[in-house]
Structure 1
Amino acid sequence: MTYEHDKQPRAVLQACAVACKSCAEECAGHESHEHCRICAEVCSRCERTCGELIDNLG
């Protein structure tokens, strides 16, 4: 049985993944700047982690 509150973690993680993907794509366009390269890497990692957590929710 799925309760409404069970959907909240998934929704938060989905929103986080979307935000991280957008950030990574934007920063990847400016990788000539060291801070943008680092940001793109970290945001990509965050997006993957959110996806893994969503998968583990079942």
Structure 2
Amino acid sequence: MHEVFNGLFNFDAKFWNTIIPLLINPGKVSRDYIDGKRQRYTNPFRFYLTVSIIFFYL
């Protein structure tokens, strides 16, 4: 259970490498992910869940 929460709320470099380009140039993140450059970005489902929970708390 601890690994699940750690995976969801671990704000490592991948989170910041995903959110900053999404705010500035969302098409680049989508294109990179489709082209297979997925190592750089966080998992989309985990990212969505984390941002949704943060939004809920705010």
Does the alignment reach a TM-score above 0.5? no
Q: Give the TM-score range, shorter chain.
A: 0.3 to 0.5
Structure number having the greater helix percentage: 1
Bigger CA radius of gyration: 1
